[in-house]
Amino acid sequence: MKKRYTLEQKRWDDPVQHAMPPHTRVPAEFTVGGVRIAPATVLAPMAGVTDTVFRRFIKNASLFTAEANPTADVAQETSNQLSGCGLIMTEFTSADGLARMRETKRKRYLTYYDDEHPISAQLFGSNPETLAESARIVQDAGFDLVDLNLGCPAKRVVACNGGSGLLRDLPQIRRIFEAVRAAVTIPFTVKFRMGWNDAQIVCVELARMAEECGLNAVALHARTREDGYTGQARWEYIAAVKDAVRIPVIGNGDIRTPEDAAAMVDRTGCDAVMIGRAAPSNPWIFRQIAQYTATGNYDVPSNEDRYRMIRTYFQMLVDEIALEEQAEAARAAAIVAAGQIAREQRHRDAVGKMKQFASWFTHGVPGGGALRKQIFEARRGTAVLDAVEAFFAAQPDPGEAPETPAQQSEDTPDALLTSLGAYCD
């Protein structure tokens, strides 16, 4: 059976428990090519995950104001700077597809809202000219930054010489860097892995080349392509990249808690941290990092917090469908049958998203398996919302013990686990 990179298969392997460093915290801000990002935290681009609904959901879940903490050192000029998530990134998008598709279809892949700034669009591909053209499209669409994916380990991406597949061809990467840098004026960044395998570690050389070609920042996921998502991220390579270049370095890999984020900064000297897998399972992690940076402490979510979080995200998915249907109705009512098919597909997609995140959002909730089962069996978004309302209304006293990892595994339908969409962080 072929290996699939799914949310469930990306559980951490014996995660290291880091203590909070006594004097080191995640930086309050950093700058990428003139774009100020505050705080220095980044939501990793994840295919099938970081669409506009999830990005806005994370921004809302991350909101942290310093008003309740007068001594907090948190900037308050804009809504973004009240968020624990400083920069959000799109799902990775095929440069070939973006360059070929019609303008109306592009909007579906490049949709974002004003409150998502600063926002970076991530592209993957292997042709310098096509990537340059797609970068121009991204710039014209109003994105603040454009990012090149050199990290995705998925076979279907690597087979096209995209993602981490390009790590075996540094001369081609240089051609891509030069073409994209010449094509756009917005900040240009790259996210990459250490190398193809342990025999081909190229991260330091690649980072230096990025700096030489005028890129504005680099992000390193401290694993090789061969590692996939197994084993421990090797943070020492983030430190080596930081020592090698003067442009900002963003560290990525095995950040599950504020303690992990602070420990990465302490050990590597990186300018910012990027969080992928932890965001779907703990949407509050950015807020927790901001709280710790400001006060030295952070809140742990309660069952009520989880209820509001699940209800909010699922409602946002339903609302997004309603907005799309309103926009469709406002257009000429041609090809009614095709419109009906499109509407049904949107509903299926929304429920699919709900199923995709069910096992993560209910992680640690007493009896969460029963809710996961109901969500899996639902066919419409409204049915999922009803199930969430009924489940939390019947929740026992907060003192009841949370479900164990064994219970979480045993009561999650196998079909749900295998239906979770593939993504790359």
Is the CB of residue 221 less than 8 Å from the CB of residue 191? Answer: yes
Q: Select which of 152, 213, 270, 424 is catalytic.
A: 152
Q: What token pair was written down for 366?
A: 């007493």
Nearest to 252 by CA among 218, 220, 286: 220
Q: Catalytic site residue 152?
A: yes
Whole-number Cα distances in Å, 252 to 17, 45, 205, 218, 324: 16, 11, 18, 11, 34
CB burial readout 51-73, b (16+ within 10 A) else e: bbbbbbbbbbbbebebeeeeebe
CA-CA-CA-CA torsion for 285, 288, 289, 291, nearest 10 degrees?
160
Angle between helices 381-393 and 336-361 (to 10 degrees): 30
Q: Report d(CA 87, CA 399) in Å as an integer.
A: 36
Nearest to 35 by CA among 133, 117, 147: 117
Report the catalytic residues. 152
